[in-house]
Amino acid sequence: MDWYFGMKGHIGVDAGTGYVHSVTATAANVHDLDQVTHLVRPDDEVVYADAGYQGVEKRPVVAASEDLSGIEWRIAARKGALRAMPAQDRAIASTQAGVRGKVEHPFLIVKRDFGFTKTRYRGIAKNRNHLNMLFASANWLMRGRALPLTG
């Protein structure tokens, strides 16, 4: 019998450059909040995250860490709460969504340009190594596209 085991890739992206700086992989049943300590760098001051990371500042691991507790967490509002916000707050949320959108671009490259839409489960470690290579290649591709053409 062939079993399918779901896997999720998590990345940390620099807001200024858009380059991936952290990659982790987990089983699909692991909550996103469990990976936050692996994705945030010690020198980060502000972190933008989607609604799946709500309540991150209350987690014991984050509250106990000197580096993580000093971070300003800008977490997206859930869709239902977003509709109920005043127009000015929705505009701020829209601006923050533009910053969070930088995380999606490397996933687009990995899926569209490299064709990595499905994977065989070969163990978390092997799949994580594969993701590391894919996102490192995505960084190189983004860098190459950003360079001006000479000649």
Average pLDDT over residues 90-116: 89
CA gap 83, 135 in Å, rounded: 34
pLDDT band for 108, please (50, 70, 90 cuts).
very high
Ramachandran angles phi, psi of 19, nearest 5°: -85, 145
The two three-digit tokens of residue 138, written as one number: 């995505």
Half-sphere exposure of 42 (CA within 13 A, CB side): 2
Task: With beta carbons less than 8 A apart as the criterion, state whether 67 and 59 touch.
Answer: no
Q: What mean pLDDT do residues 29-33 have?
A: 90
> Residue 41 pLDDT > 70, yes or no?
yes
Cα gap 133→90, rounded to integer Å: 37
Confidence at 83, pLDDT banded by 50, 70, 90: confident
CA–CA gap between residue 5 and residue 63 (Å, rounded) = 32
Q: Give burial (CB, 10 Å; 0-12/13-18/19+) of 29.
A: exposed
> Region 42-60: what's the mean pLDDT?
89
Among 18, 23, 52, which residue's Cα sits nearest to residue 127?
A: 23
Phi, psi of 12 (to 5 degrees): -110, 135
Determine the average pLDDT of the residues in 31-56. 90
User: Which pLDDT score, from 0 to 100, does residue 24 have?
Assistant: 94
Work out the pLDDT band at 6, boundaries 50, 70, 90: confident
